[in-house]
Amino acid sequence: MFTIKQSVGITGGIGSGKTYVARILESMGYPVFYSDQVSKSLLATSPEIIKAVTKLLGTKAYFEDGTVNKAYVAGKIFSDQDLLLQMNAIMHPAVRNAFQTFFKNQNAPLVFNEAAILFETGAHENLDKTILVVAPEKVRIERVLKRENISIAQVKERIEKQWADEKKLALSDYIIKNGNNDMLLPQINEILQSLLNS
């Protein structure tokens, strides 16, 4: 029986493989909170958030059937830094509260929070430890192009919108290298041992 429950953030730039690492941890029996999925769910279902986003971005943010107009929303916030900051101010506190509830309800020694912009939002300040997943930019671009119908220029634009790995490294407790030839499991197991013994 564990005595202390720890919250651990998992982050990394687009295409780094952070979600893949989170899924491995989940398959090992650890609870994982997927911040981006929760954010999308809140954006689509929370009356307070729907009202705030409609006020910020206009009625085109949602289709007539109530679903999110993802292309419109992404086009607006990724091309206007001020709108992006305002959108983050709507979404991030709600996601943070959802994680706190999730954390309280888990009965496990380690509870993971997978988030693309963990450091950018300041969410890491409320966590016990953080893991940064890194991969060469070329590999990251290839991965994103395989899974999403976007151009290389769009991938690079998204990468540039996120903090550089160098900046994140200074704030991270653990690093997982996830290039094409890196072995993930030994790195994950080593980190788990360190976390469980701390």
CATH of the domain at 153: 3.40.50.300
Same domain, residue pair 100 and 141: no
DSSP letters, the chain, are: --S--EEEEEE--TTS-HHHHHHHHHHTT--EEEHHHHHHHHHHH-HHHHHHHHHHH-GGGB-TTS-B-HHHHHHHHHS-HHHHHHHHHHHHHHHHHHHHHHHHT--SSEEEEE-TTTTTTTGGGGSSEEEEEE--HHHHHHHHHHHSS--HHHHHHHHHHSPPHHHHHTT-SEEEE-STT--HHHHHHHHHHHHHT-
Q: Phi, psi (5° rounding) for residue 129?
A: -145, 165
Same domain, residue pair 45 and 57: yes
Same domain, residue pair 193 and 115: yes
Residues marked as binding? 15-20
Same domain, residue pair 113 and 197: yes
Range of the domain at 88: 36-105
The pLDDT, as a whole number, for residue 2 is 55
Same domain, residue pair 26 and 66: no
Side-chain-facing half-sphere of 184: CA atoms under 13 Å: 18
Residues marked as binding for ATP? 15-20
Domain termination residue (choose one: 54, 80, 105): 105
The pLDDT, as a whole number, for residue 158 is 86
Same domain, residue pair 87 and 113: no
Domain termination residue (choose one: 86, 105, 124): 105
Same domain, residue pair 113 and 195: yes
CA distance 134 to 22: 14
Domain termination residue (choose one: 88, 105, 122): 105
Same domain, residue pair 167 and 116: yes
Reading the chain (198 residues) residue by residue, the pLDDT tens digits are: 456 899 999 999 999 999 999 999 999 999 999 999 999 999 999 999 999 999 999 999 999 999 999 999 999 998 898 999 999 999 999 999 999 999 999 999 999 999 998 998 899 999 999 999 999 999 999 999 999 989 999 999 888 888 999 999 999 999 999 997 779 999 999 999 999 998
Same domain, residue pair 180 and 196: yes
Domains in the chain: how many in total? 2
Is 139 in contact with 128 (CB distance < 8 Å)? no
